[in-house]
Amino acid sequence: MITGTVTKSTGSWYNVRLDDSGAMLQCRIVGKFRLEDVPLTNPVAVGDRVELVPEGDGNGLIKKILPRRNYIVRQSPRRKHDLHLLAANIDQTVLIVTVVNPTIKPGFIDRFLVMVERDEIPTTIVFNKADLYDGEDMEVFEAMQAVYEQIGYGVLLTSVVNKQGLDAFRDLLKNKTTLISGQSGVGKSSLVNAIQPQLELRTGEISDYSGKGQHTTTFAEMFDLDFGGYLIDTPGIKTLSFNNKDKSNIAHSFREFFALSDNCRFGGACLHRNEPGCAVHEALRNGTVSELRFQSYLTLLDEVEDQNYWERNREM
């Protein structure tokens, strides 16, 4: 039995880089792998450490997934009751957004942060396409920078056109395994190509018809960085949904709300809606908690309740 790291998932086959030789094998899986008894659309993720048996002709058979130190899942875009593994065993995530072209959606940022907060994975939010920002756009950026830096997330401003922030972006990725994600059209691939041109990641333009980006990445894939580290590129995401039936998990995933919950009258059981003695509402009144973040939180709570309602009625 030999070991390796999954570098690409195409649904039924997985590219695995062998630890001993660095050679790449195309592998399939045997048996069923599950994640905490939750249905998965892809039982093996990029970044997974696996044990396998070579089968000859450059192929192999994955026999075992080694313990994960962390992982990121999202709701399957095609099967809403299943989960899709995005990546495993990562050091950090980078979320690429832009204020304009396409227009920023603060709720999308918060959904992504909820997705990675469970394992306390460090995250940096990169605001790209700074060359397109006018004065009002810069005010939006600075306001959002203040919100997210205050609660412990990194924020970076970049532009491929002006070469702004590219050195800082490169330093951010150096010697780490990074999952990079973002909505379609935010310039993720162009930004990576600017600091690592030999990767030649496919780029796409904004659709004139919809104003949204075109999908350019089909499958998650891990790339070596010549200055040290690995980059896991994920498909461009138009919308981000998740399968989460526990409202308290949402409350715990907004880190500034979780920090305040000990001061709520009902402690960790407080959902920060209309409960008396809620410390989050007090923070909203005195301006120490972001109203935008709170609106994102309420939206996610409503989605969980709707999901639970329809599942209960489906089972009746």
Stretch(es) of the chain classified as CATH 2.40.50.140: 2-65
From CA 25, how far away is CA 15, in angstroms rounded? 6
pLDDT (tens digit per residue) in 54-108? 998 889 999 999 999 999 887 765 666 667 788 999 999 999 999 999 999 888 9
Stretch(es) of the chain classified as CATH 3.40.50.300: 90-233
The CATH code belonging to domain 2-65 is: 2.40.50.140
Phi/psi for 240 (5° steps) reads: -130, 105
Collapsed DSSP state (helix, strand, coil) of residue 103? coil
Q: Where are the alpha helices (DSSP H) in 151-187?
A: 166-173
Domain 247-315 has CATH 3.40.50.150: no
Distances (CA, A) of 260 to 114, 177, 219, 277: 17, 32, 39, 12
**Tens digit of pLDDT per residue, the chain (316 long)?**
899 999 998 777 899 999 999 999 999 987 666 666 666 778 899 999 999 999 988 899 999 999 999 998 877 656 666 677 889 999 999 999 999 999 998 889 999 999 899 889 999 999 999 999 999 999 999 999 999 999 999 999 999 999 999 999 999 999 999 999 998 899 999 999 999 998 877 654 443 333 443 433 446 899 999 999 999 998 765 555 555 556 778 888 999 999 999 999 999 889 999 999 999 999 999 999 999 999 999 999 988 877 653 444 443 3
Stretch(es) of the chain classified as CATH 1.10.40.50: 247-315
Domain 90-233 has CATH 3.40.250.10: no
Collapsed DSSP state (helix, strand, coil) of residue 114? helix
Q: What is the pLDDT of residue 213?
A: 39
- Partnered with residue 229 across adjacent β-strands are 176
